[in-house]
Amino acid sequence: MFNILLWAIVAFFAIMQLIVAIFMATGLTSGAKKLDPKSLEFAMYKNTGFKDCVTNSPTHVNCTVVTEYDQSLGADFRPWALQHGGGFLVGSNIPTTTGGSYTWCELVSCLKGFKVIPSSPFPSAFAYSPLTIWAYLNMLFISAARGLQKQVTFEGHHPKECKGWSILDRIFIAYDLCAFVIWWRDWGLVASRPHYASYISIMAWYTTVRYAFETQLHPLSCWLSFRSRRERFRRPMIWVLSILATLHWCATLFFIIVRWPDLVMARFLAHLWPRYDCLESQIANATGTSVCSPEQLCAKSWLFSHQGPGLDRNLYRILFMWFMMFCYLSGALIFATGFIFIVKGINKFSTVRLVIYFIFMGLLVISIAFIPPAIIYMFKNWRESNLMSTVAYDVECRAVHVTISAMKDYLDVADNSLGQRILKLWFNA
């Protein structure tokens, strides 16, 4: 019965990944060809609707309130920007005189005439998006459910029941190994250049932990059978996989602290790290006028830094749920490890398998709860023509910097890293 359920889970997430592939194909064919990442227009406006919105005259918008809103409330989450005479338009929650709120397009119209600073995005500018997280979860569960299927059919300490390594087993192990290598390669880039490197999955370590547990389950248990010459590798492999799993989790935690500081209350670690390269040589040809020189504008590093998902509260909720899944899985596995070593008088194989089932099903429930808001977010935003993004501006210099919009999951930006971003979606890396 449980085996049938696992097959259903594999089928479900395979269908979900097929939907992701459809979204990817739609994004690649509808928007990417319209944007030339090497053009001056892209350097200024990225994939947003800023150019169309800023041409409108803000006749009914109180621009003084807009540009001084954060300063008047004293509640801006980037106070160091305000100290330099600037601010961020991170949402459309600035109130009007009638009690409503301005749209993003109305807000950016207040920046008409400002010098638009051209820039080139680093890989780190392409942060998490609902499609990215959704694809990560799909591939994680397809691999994990397949691993659990083998445990349902075979007993870990009965090698005679083991039918050996099937072709499907070899495919999944090869897939997990490739994902492991890709993840650690990108983590090395994050550790060496935190402000430059791209984002990585914060759930990839679960696969490493799963293999550490499965040394006592089929097929690894059979492969390391006491009746086999490979038995001498059993204990070293358990220790190696356990150490790798611990290092993988610690490396993931390091990434979260460095690149996701708002969620772990460590904002001071990354608030000045740039996510964009200021193109000083192209500023003279850019739209608008500024009282500051190109050198002065490029020296304002906060204009090119990361501002988090403040533009869209729904996106923030999705990202927070992604972080909560990491916390749940971390707590569950720490408890499970202690439980397995502390509990006595119970068959160790049965205990390990039961713990893995429990953790897997709990993570499954949380993941399925994640999918509806992600789908709603994408269906809503992919219909928009004027894509929004965080806008950083400097009032004293009369300059503005526009960041990349995540509303179409960055698939409408055909830069050099597009292929790598797509590859990582399919390897949970």
Between residues 378 and 262, which one has the greater pLDDT? 378
pTM passes above 0.85: no
What is the rounded average pLDDT of the residues 324-352?
66
Output the six-digit token pair for 26. 């739609």
With helix as H, strand as E and coil as C, how does 44-95 read? Answer: HHCCCCHHHHHCCCCCCCCHHHHHHHHHHHCCCCCHHHHCCCEEEECCCCCE
What is the rounded average pLDDT of the residues 15-30?
80
- Per residue in 384-423, is it b (16+ CB within 10 Å) or e — as a string? eebbbbbbbbbbebbbbbbbbbbbbbbbbbbbebbeebee
The pLDDT, as a whole number, for residue 298 is 94
Q: What is the DSSP letter of 120?
A: E
The pLDDT, as a whole number, for residue 196 is 83
Tell me the C-alpha distance between 13 and 140, whole Å: 9
Amino acid at position 298, single letter: C
What is the rounded average pLDDT of the residues 400-407?
86
Q: Answer yes or no: is pLDDT of 1 > 50.
A: yes
* Nearest-5° Cα angle at 186, 361 to 38: 120
Between residues 184 and 236, which one has the greater pLDDT? 184
Peptide bond into 159 cis (omega under 30): no
Is residue 103 classed as helix, strand or coil in its secondary structure? coil
Between residues 13 and 334, which one has the greater pLDDT? 13
Please return the burial class of 192, using the count of CB atoms within 10 Å of its CB with bins 0-12, 13-18 and 19+. Answer: exposed
Q: Answer yes or no: is pLDDT of 327 > 50.
A: yes
The pLDDT, as a whole number, for residue 73 is 39
Looking at the DSSP bridge assignments, the partners of residue 121 are 276
Taking the CA of residue 195 as centre, how many other CA atoms within 13 Å lie in the half-sphere pointing to its CB?
15
Query: Rounded to the nearest 5°, which phi and psi values hold at 148?
Result: -70, -30
The pLDDT, as a whole number, for residue 296 is 93
Q: Determine contact, residues 258/194, Cβ cutoff 8 Å.
A: yes
* Nearest-5° Cα angle at 236, 230 to 237: 75
Tell me the C-alpha distance between 134 and 264, whole Å: 22
The pLDDT, as a whole number, for residue 383 is 62
Q: Determine contact, residues 120/416, Cβ cutoff 8 Å.
A: no
Q: Answer yes or no: is pLDDT of 297 > 90.
A: yes
The pLDDT, as a whole number, for residue 369 is 75
Using CA atoms, how far residue 97 sits from 59, 88, 201, in Å, is 13, 21, 43
